[in-house]
Amino acid sequence: MRANRKTYTGLAVVTLVVGYLSRAWSHPGSWVYDDAGDALWAMMVAWLVNAAVGPRRPVARWLAALGICGAVELSQCLDWSWLVAARGNRLGALVLGHAFSVHDLVLYAVGCCLVAGLDAGLRRGR
């Protein structure tokens, strides 16, 4: 399978569903419940960056996805009224998170690295 924008978009949707199921089918305190969602969220962001940019410049795409994830995590340190309001609904909370955590940054890097590896395989046509 060759990598293209439709493939990347499809992978983002699959990752979104897996992320939702990881929360729905696990229990608080488990690794899946507490950590997998962060890595999966970063994977979804990376797939969406790939879909937006296309298959060229893989390192730039990986860095862009990691930068977006880091910026969203750092935004959790801000208490601007519109950000607080956005986090007050389910979608805003899922996209923007609630509390800054260095641990989350590590999980975002893991997710982006997984996508980089999977993408390398896709680009080779395997």
Residue 34 lies in a domain: yes
pTM for the model: 0.88
Residue 93 lies in a domain: no
41: domain range?
5-71+103-123
24-51 per-position pLDDT tens digit: 888 887 888 788 999 999 999 999 999 9
- Could you tell me the pLDDT band of residue 1, with boundaries at 50, 70 and 90? low
| Mean pLDDT calculated for residue range 88-108 | 90
Task: Report which residue type is found at 122.
Answer: L
pLDDT at 27: 81
pLDDT at 2: 66
Residue 118 lies in a domain: yes
The answer to whether the beta carbons of residues 110 and 42 sit under 8 Å apart is yes
Q: How many domains does the chain have?
A: 1
Burial 81-104 (b: 16+ CB within 10 A, else e): eeeeeebeeeeeeeeebeeeeeeb
Residue 85 lies in a domain: no
